[in-house]
C-alpha cells in the first residue's frame, strides 16, 4: 500500500512502481535511454509508445527478466527479486506469453499456485473474475487468443497482487472483452493497487488511464495526468501522434 513518511522538513511519498534512469542496449543498439517514471497506487497508468519504442523491454526490466546497463527499477520500494512474496507483490502479463496447450485453466492455475505458494482456493474467484468459469476444465488448446489473454490475466491476479504490470492486456479481446478488462483494471486501481498497462488502443486508454507515460525511441517524451497530456489536443490520439509522429524517426521504433 501507499506509504507516506512525513517529517518536519519535507513530505516523501513512496510509490509502488518506479523506474529510475534506466538505460539498456542490445548489441550496442540503445533501446532504453535514461528511462524514468513512476506508477502510483490507486491509479491506472497507461504506458504508450509506437512499435519498438521500448515498452515491453521496460516492463521486463521491472520484472528483472532483463537487467539494465544502468539505472534501477523498483516495485514496492525494492527490486522485484528481493520480494519475499513476488506473486503477491506483482501480477504480470507480458505480450506474447504462450500457455500450455494440454492443460486446462483449472489445472494450470493449480500448478501456478503451487509454484508460487499461493492460496489455490482463490482459483474459482479469479476464473469468475476473468469470465473463464465455464471453460475451467476445457483444454487450453481449444482457446481463442482472447481466452488465452483472460487466462494470462487470471494468472496475474491469482496472488491478489498490489501491483499489476500488464503488457498489451487487451490484445485479442473483442469489444465486450475490452470493456470488461477496462472495468476490471479500474476496479483494481480503486482497490488501491498500482496498475501499469501498455496498449496501442489510444481511444481505450483515454477511457481507462488516469496517468499517461509516453515512450518513443527508448526515451520518455511525456508523463502526466490524462488531462495534462491531452491539454491543447482534441484527443489522446491527437496528442500521441503529435508527440511521437511529428518526427518520422519516432515512427515504428528504430
Ligand X SMILES: Nc1ncnc2c1ncn2[C@@H]1O[C@H](COP(=O)(O)OP(=O)(O)OP(=O)(O)O)[C@@H](O)[C@H]1O
- Chain residues binding ligand X by CB under 6 A are 26, 31, 49, 51-57, 95, 253
The interface partner of residue 193, options being Mg ion, ligand X, none and the CB cut-off 5 to 8 Å by kind, is none
The residue (of 54 and 161) whose beta carbon lies closer to ligand X is 54
Q: How far is the CB of 167 from Mg ion (least distance, A)?
A: 6
Query: Minimum distance between the CB of residue 53 and ligand X, rounded to whole angstroms?
Result: 4
Binding site for Mg ion (CB under 5 A): 55-56, 95
Choose among Mg ion, ligand X, none what residue 41 binds, the Cβ cut-off being 5 to 8 Å by kind. none
Nearest partner of 168 among 200, 135, 121, judged by Cα: 200
**Interatomic CA distance for residues 132 and 147, integer angstroms:** 8
- Residue number of the CB closest to Mg ion reads 56
Nearest to 72 by CA among 27, 23, 30, 31: 23
What's the closest the beta carbon of residue 192 comes to Mg ion, in angstroms?
Answer: 27
- Whether residue 113 contacts residue 124, with contact meaning beta carbons closer than 8 Å, is answered with no
- Measured from the CB of residue 128, what is the shortest distance to ligand X in angstroms? 30
Q: Which is nearer to ligand X, 33 or 95 (CB)?
A: 95
Out of ligand X, Mg ion, none, what residue 49 binds, judged by CB under 5 to 8 A for its kind, is ligand X
Tell me the three state secondary structure of residue 2. coil
Burial 18-34 (b: 16+ CB within 10 A, else e): bbeebbbeeeeebbbbe
Choosing among ligand X, Mg ion, none, which partner's interface includes residue 148 (Cβ < 5 to 8 Å by kind)? none
Count Cβ atoms within 10 A of the Cβ of residue 155 and give its class: 0-12 exposed, 13-18 middle, 19 or more buried. Answer: buried
Q: Which residues contact 119 (CB under 8 A, 6 or more apart)?
A: 113
Name which of Mg ion, ligand X, none residue 163 binds, using a CB cut-off of 5 to 8 Å depending on partner kind: none
Compare residues 1 and 65 and give the one whose CB is closer to ligand X: 65
146 contact choice in ligand X, Mg ion, none (CB below 5 to 8 Å, kind-dependent): none
CB of 184 to Mg ion, least distance (A): 21
128 φψ region: left (φ > 0), alpha (ψ -120 to 50), beta (else): alpha
Q: How far is the CB of 164 from Mg ion (least distance, A)?
A: 16
Instruction: Decide whether 57 or 194 has the Cβ nearer to ligand X.
Output: 57
Q: Which is nearer to Mg ion, 154 or 198 (CB)?
A: 198
Which residue matches cell numbers 520518455?
220
Residue 168 · residue 26 · CB < 8 Å? no
DSSP character for 27?
Answer: T
Q: At 4, is the secondary structure helix, strand, or coil?
A: strand
**Closer to ligand X at the Cβ: 110 or 201?**
201
Amino acid at each position: 500500500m501507499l506509504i507516506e513518511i512525513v517529517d518536519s522538513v519535507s513530505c516523501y511519498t513512496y510509490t509502488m512502481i518506479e523506474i529510475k534512469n534506466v538505460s539498456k542496449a542490445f548489441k550496442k543498439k540503445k533501446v532504453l535511454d535514461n528511462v524514468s517514471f513512476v506508477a502510483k497506487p490507486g491509479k491506472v497508468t497507461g504506458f504508450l509508445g509506437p512499435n519498438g519504442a521500448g515498452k515491453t523491454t521496460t516492463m521486463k526490466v521491472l520484472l528483472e527478466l532483463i537487467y539494465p546497463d544502468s539505472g534501477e527499477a523498483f516495485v514496492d520500494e525494492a527490486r522485484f527479486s528481493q520480494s519475499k512474496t513476488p506473486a503477491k507483490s506483482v501480477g504480470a502479463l507480458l505480450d506474447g506469453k504462450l500457455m500450455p496447450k494440454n492443460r486446462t485453466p483449472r489445472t494450470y492455475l493449480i500448478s501456478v499456485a503451487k509454484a508460487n505458494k499461493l492460496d489455490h482456493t482463490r482459483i474459482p474467484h479469479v476464473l469468475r473474475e476473468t469470465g473463464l468459469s465455464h471453460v475451467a476444465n476445457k483444454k487450453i488448446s481449444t482457446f481463442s487468443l482472447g481466452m488465452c489473454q483472460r487466462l494470462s490475466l487470471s494468472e496475474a491476479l491469482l496472488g491478489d497482487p498490489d501491483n499489476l504490470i500488464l503488457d498489451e492486456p487487451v490484445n485479442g479481446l473483442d469489444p465486450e472483452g475490452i470493456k470488461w478488462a477496462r472495468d476490471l483494471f479500474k476496479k483494481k486501481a480503486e482497490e488501491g493497487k498500482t496498475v501499469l498497462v501498455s496498449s496501442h488502443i489510444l481511444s481505450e486508454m483515454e477511457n481507462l488511464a488516469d496517468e499517461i507515460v509516453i515512450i518513443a525511441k527508448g526515451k520518455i517524451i511525456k508523463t502526466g495526468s490524462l488531462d495534462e497530456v491531452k491539454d491543447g489536443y482534441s484527443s489522446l490520439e491527437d496528442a500521441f501522434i503529435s508527440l511521437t509522429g511529428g518526427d518520422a524517426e519516432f515512427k515504428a521504433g528504430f
